[in-house]
């Protein structure tokens, strides 16, 4: 198990980020998706990590800031291999690195962005979903067969009166646990789905030292 750095969130996840499953972090812009993904990386920094960056949001200086707050040696940053994907073809090809390296953690930030961009026309909607599901199928096989913890991030889009995860129907088939982040003004909260029984969530804030739980 890899800790998220948040005791309450780890508890909702059943201990943290588990191997052999895909954990999906989704929410609106500015809710801390990438920040949480980087914090998880920091907590797994003694292992080899593959970080697929589709939007150019990876910041090594932010990782170093998180590491410094935890008194970790800066040289451990070398354990993170960053693969920048600029199109769907590159994103799919980057999956080959996972099988070759067999890392202790894989992070894909943001997983649907390039698919939505390249298949933006309504007439391409079916093709987009098929291509994305093929990609997710390959990722899930790697994750399950090699028992690798995989963390992905995703955005939400407006549908009627509510925010819905992008490509939600296609992505939900392959994701095992979901961390839904919400932002209302300066208040942030996280909920783990599926939530059995009463709805449970925890509050957090984003600080220089990372994402911190609010009790």
pLDDT in tens, 182-193: 999 889 999 999
Q: pLDDT band for 211, please (50, 70, 90 cuts).
A: very high
- For 78, other C-beta atoms within 10 Å of its C-beta total 9
pTM more than 0.85: yes
pLDDT computed for residue 195 by the predictor:
64
Do the beta carbons of residue 180 and residue 27 sit within 8 Å?
A: yes
Q: Give dist(CA 188, CA 72) in Å, integer.
A: 27
Looking at the predicted structure, is the pLDDT value of residue 198 above 60?
no
Q: Which neighbouring-strand residues pair with 162?
A: 159
Q: Tally the C-alpha atoms within 13 A of residue 141's C-alpha that lie toward its C-beta.
A: 9
Map out the domains of the chain as residue ranges.
Answer: 7-214
Query: Which superfamily, per CATH, for 7-214?
Result: P-loop containing nucleotide triphosphate hydrolases (3.40.50.300)
Cβ contacts of residue 174 below 8 Å, gap of 6+?
Answer: 22, 133, 136, 137, 139, 140
Category of 36 on φ-ψ map: left (φ > 0), alpha (ψ -120 to 50) or beta: alpha
């Amino acid at each position: 198990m890899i800790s998220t750095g948040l005791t309450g969130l780890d508890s909702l996840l059943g201990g943290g980020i588990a191997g052999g499953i895909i954990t999906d972090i989704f929410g609106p812009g500015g809710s801390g998706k990438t920040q949480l993904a980087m914090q998880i990386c920091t907590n797994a920094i003694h292992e080899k990590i593959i970080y697929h960056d589709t939007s150019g949001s990876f910041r090594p200086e932010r990782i170093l800031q998180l590491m410094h707050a935890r008194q970790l040696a800066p040289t451990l940053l070398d354990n993170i291999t960053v693969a920048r994907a600029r199109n769907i073809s590159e994103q799919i090809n980057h999956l080959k690195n996972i099988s070759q390296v067999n890392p202790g953690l894989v992070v894909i930030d943001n997983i649907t962005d390039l698919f939505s961009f390249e298949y933006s026309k309504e007439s391409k909607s079916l093709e987009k979903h098929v291509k994305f599901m093929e990609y997710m199928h390959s990722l899930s096989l790697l994750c399950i067969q090699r028992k690798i913890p995989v963390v992905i991030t995703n955005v939400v889009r407006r549908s009627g009166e509510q925010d819905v995860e992008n490509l939600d129907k296609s992505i939900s088939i392959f994701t095992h646990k979901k961390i839904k982040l919400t932002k209302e003004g300066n208040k942030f909260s996280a909920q783990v789905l599926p939530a059995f029984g009463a709805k449970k969530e925890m509050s957090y804030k984003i600080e220089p030292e990372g994402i911190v739980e609010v009790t």
